[in-house]
Structure formats: C-alpha cells, structure tokens
Structure 1
Amino acid sequence: MPLDHHDQVNLLKDILANQQNDCCGSVAECEQLERLVKSLMVNASLDENILPILQEVYQYSQAGAYSSDLDQHILSNQDNLSNWVDQIGQFS
C-alpha cells in the first residue's frame, strides 16, 4: 500500500529527527530521504511553501550519501536538521 503525502512527510520528519538525535545515520537513510523528497516534490496537493525545505533536504541527503564521513556530515548539519524538523512539522 503506497504512503499518502501526510505519511511521507511524517516519515521524512522522523528520519531527520533520528539523525539529529542520534548524530549518526546510514547511506540507506540518505537514499530513503532522496526518494521521499522526490516523491513529495511532484505531489500537486502539497503546500508549495515546503518546496524550498525539501530542496535543502534533498541536497543534504545527496551529500550525505556520497560523504566519506556520514556521521560528521550529520554533525555539521545539526542546526539545519533541527530547523527542517520544526518547519516540516508545520506541514504534517
């Protein structure tokens, strides 16, 4: 059963919150973030104000997937992660 956009937004927020709280993550999580963001960005029923946030998350996840030190990448983006979780929470 496919996830609707509310479920996708909540999953996106959960993954970002986990990376923020744990200060670590996996390449698979980064790839999942990319897939979620791509799916959300083509959803016409999504609030367009979330699109810039999604673009930032996409760039973050791509950089993380190809990072030689993913944990450091996550650590250096703690402020961004916190902001994204808060902002995305407004749309979920």
Structure 2
Amino acid sequence: MPLGHQDQLNLLKDILSNHQTDCCGSISECEQLERLVKSLMINGNINQNVKTVLEEIYEYSQHGINSSQLDSHIESHQNELSQWVQEIDQFS
C-alpha cells in the first residue's frame, strides 16, 4: 500500500528530526529522503512553499549520499534540519 502525501511528509520530518537530534544518520536514510522528496515533488497537492524546502532537502540528501563524512555533513546542517521540519509543519 503506497503512502499518502501526508504520511510521506511525516516520514520525511521523522528522518530529518532524527538527523538533527542524533547528529548522525545512514546512507540509506539519505536515499529514503531522496525517494520521498521525488515522490512529493510530483504531487499536485503539495504547497508550493513546501516544494522549495523539498528542493533543499533533496540537495542535502544528495550530498549526504556522496559524502565520505556523513556525520559531519549532518552536523553542519543542524540549523537547516530544524528549519525544514518547522517549515513542513507550517505548510502541511
């Protein structure tokens, strides 16, 4: 059963929140972020303001997937992680 867009947003927020709280993550989580963002970007029900945030999250996930220092990458984006979760909450 596919996830609805609200479920996808909730999963996206959970992963981002975990990255912020734990200051670490996995390549598979970054790949999951990438898949979620791709799916949400083609959804017509998503607020345009959220799409801007999704583009930033996509870039973050891409850099994370390709990073040899994933934990450092996550640590360097602590402010953005918090901001993205707040913005998704605001527009979803």
TM value normalised by structure 2: 0.97
Identity of aligned residues (%): 63
Cα offset for 1:91?
2.9
Structure-2 residue corresponding to 1:39? 39
The CA distance in 2 between the partners of 1:25 and 1:89, in whole Å, is 22
- Aligned-residue RMSD, C-alpha: 0.7
Q: 1:15-57, CA deviations, whole angstroms, 9 ceiling, x for partnerless residues?
A: 0000000000000000000000000000011111111100000
Q: SS at 1:90's partner residue?
A: helix
The CA distance in 1 between the partners of 2:91 and 2:35, in whole Å, is 18
Structure-2 residue corresponding to 1:65? 65
The CA distance in 2 between the partners of 1:90 and 1:11, in whole Å, is 16
Structure-2 residue corresponding to 1:88? 88
Q: Which runs of 4+ in 1 moved over 3 A?
A: none
The CA distance in 1 between the partners of 2:47 and 2:75, in whole Å, is 29
Which letter maps to 1:68? S
Q: How many residues align?
A: 92
Instruction: Name structure 2 gaps, 5 residues minimum.
Output: none
Which letter maps to 1:78? Q
Which letter maps to 1:50? V
Structure-2 residue corresponding to 1:7? 7
Which letter maps to 1:54? L
The CA distance in 2 between the partners of 1:85 and 1:18, in whole Å, is 11
